[in-house]
A and B are shown apart, each in its own frame.
Chain A
Amino acid sequence: KQEVTQIPAALSVPEGENLVLNCSFTDSAIYNLQWFRQDPGKGLTSLLLIQSSQREQTSGRLNASLDKSSGRSTLYIAASQPGDSATYLCAVREIYNQGGKLIFGQGTELSVKP
């Protein structure tokens, strides 16, 4: 059974710092991996989607990498800002599923202090 783990559960950094969020998964037979952002009381917003054949994706100050063989993904945030404060979740889509199920991690709650 696929399990997705995110470490740390919470992270507090000063503004301007570069940071890395970690995501690990137990079964490497994935189709893709997505990183989401969730603000308090809001839904999830998809940030980056990495297909299994890709190694990384970039969007602005965000860079996500994928190492399928080791079951790991990282989300790198450059020059963090207070507006980056949110919970970040990763989710994998397994090859075996009929196109449906995303398996989510529990998330990392990020706080960027001014």
Chain B
Amino acid sequence: DAGVIQSPRHEVTEMGQEVTLRCKPISGHDYLFWYRQTMMRGLELLIYFNNNVPIDDSGMPEDRFSAKMPNASFSTLKIQPSEPRDSAVYFCASSLGAWGEKLFFGSGTQLSVL
């Protein structure tokens, strides 16, 4: 398996623009997580899905952030409008089951909002 695939690897945009990050989880995994990593706050869970259904979105910072999982092999994280403080590395991760299973991370999207 190719692992968790994220695109784009790097995104540079201007404040106010819409940004869409994409993720393809490992085939067969039923849990998908979106994390954000910054120097100041470390790794933060934004939202996670189980069988394509959002379970906990309490980590989504504000209404400008939204996430969807239309099918088992694709998820998006959208920021509209983007702000400079959204600059971070955004990771997608997946697992087979949640409680006792290892988490597999993608390589991340480095987002810079100017």
Contact = CB atoms under 8 A, between A and B. Distances in A.
Contacts of A89: 43
Interface in A1-56: 31-32, 34, 36, 41-46, 49, 51
A34 B102 contact: yes
Most buried by B among A41, A93, A99, A100: A100
Nearest to B50: A99
Contact of B31 (A36, A51, A99, A105): A99
Nearest to A100: B48
Given A89-B43, A99-B50, A101-B45, A46 B56 contact: no
B111 to A, nearest CB: 14
A34 B103 contact: yes
A78 interface: no
A45 B105 contact: yes
A107 B110 CA distance: 19
A32 B55 CA distance: 20
A43 B105 CA distance: 6
B12 interface: no
Interface residues of B, number: 26
A41 B10 CA distance: 11
B42 interface: yes
27 contacts: A32-B100, A34-B102, A34-B103, A36-B105, A42-B108, A43-B4, A43-B91, A43-B93, A43-B107, A43-B108, A44-B93, A44-B105, A45-B105, A46-B103, A49-B100, A93-B99, A97-B56, A98-B56, A100-B33, A100-B45, A100-B48, A100-B55, A101-B45, A101-B56, A102-B45, A102-B103, A104-B42
Given A34-B103, A104-B42, 20 more contacts: A32-B100, A36-B105, A43-B4, A43-B91, A43-B105, A43-B107, A43-B108, A46-B102, A46-B103, A46-B104, A49-B100, A93-B99, A99-B50, A99-B55, A99-B97, A99-B98, A100-B45, A100-B48, A100-B98, A101-B48
Interface of B: 4, 31, 33, 42-43, 45, 48, 50, 55-56, 59, 91, 93, 97-108, 110
